[in-house]
Amino acid sequence: MNEPTVFSKIIAGEIPADIVYRDEEITAFRDIQPLAPVHILIVPNQAIATVNDIEDADAELIGRMWCIARDLAKQEGIAESGYRLVVNCNADAGQEVFHLHLHLIGGRKLGSSVSR
Ligand code: 5GP
C-alpha cells in the first residue's frame, strides 16, 4: 500500500486543517498557502494520485467534486465575481501533492496565470 498522503492525514483527522465541507466521498479544506482570498482544495477521500489515475468508474465522484466547487464558490461569495478551478497533473504542472485535488481560487482579479 502507498504511504498516506498529507491530504489523507487531513481527511483522517490526523493533522489539522480548516475543513469547509465533508461527506463520505469528498472533503474540502482551505489551502495552507493561499494564492488568493479564497483558496480551497476539494479532495476525494479515496487517494487517487493524479488525473492519469482516474478510472471510468470514478466519473460520478469527479463530477461531484465540481458540484461541490460550485456550491463552495457560492458559499464563499465569489460565484458572481468569478473564480478559477485548477487541477495540476505531474511535474510540468507543478503537482506537489499526489492525491487528486481541485483548487477553487478566487476573491481577487486572477490575471492570466496564478502560481507561486
Ligand atoms: P498542487 O501543487 O499539488 O496542485 O497543490 C498542492 C496544494 O496543497 C498547494 O497549494 C499547497 O499549498 C497545499 N498544501 C500542501 N500541504 C498542505 C497541508 O498540509 N495543508 C493544507 N491545508 N494545504 C496544503
Q: Which three cell numbers stand for residue 90?
A: 505531474
The predicted pLDDT at position 26 comes to 98
Domain extents for the chain?
6-106
Residues 6-106: name the CATH superfamily. HIT-like (3.30.428.10)
The predicted pLDDT at position 113 comes to 77
Q: Which three cell numbers stand for residue 42?
A: 476539494
Using the atom order of ligand 1, give the atom closest to the CA of residue 96.
3
7 CA from centroid of ligand 1 (Å):
8
Spell out the per-residue pLDDT of the chain, length 116, in tens: 578 999 999 999 999 999 999 999 999 999 999 999 999 999 999 999 999 999 999 999 999 999 999 999 999 999 999 999 999 999 999 999 999 999 999 999 998 876 66
- What number of other Cβ atoms are within 10 A of residue 78's Cβ? 19
Using the atom order of ligand 1, give the atom closest to the CA of residue 101.
4
Task: Give the Cα separation of 10 and 19 in Å (integer).
Answer: 9
Amino acid letter for position 113: S
Beta-carbon contacts of residue 55 (< 8 Å; ≥ 6 apart): none
pTM for the full predicted model: 0.97
Task: Give the Cα separation of 50 and 48 in Å (integer).
Answer: 6
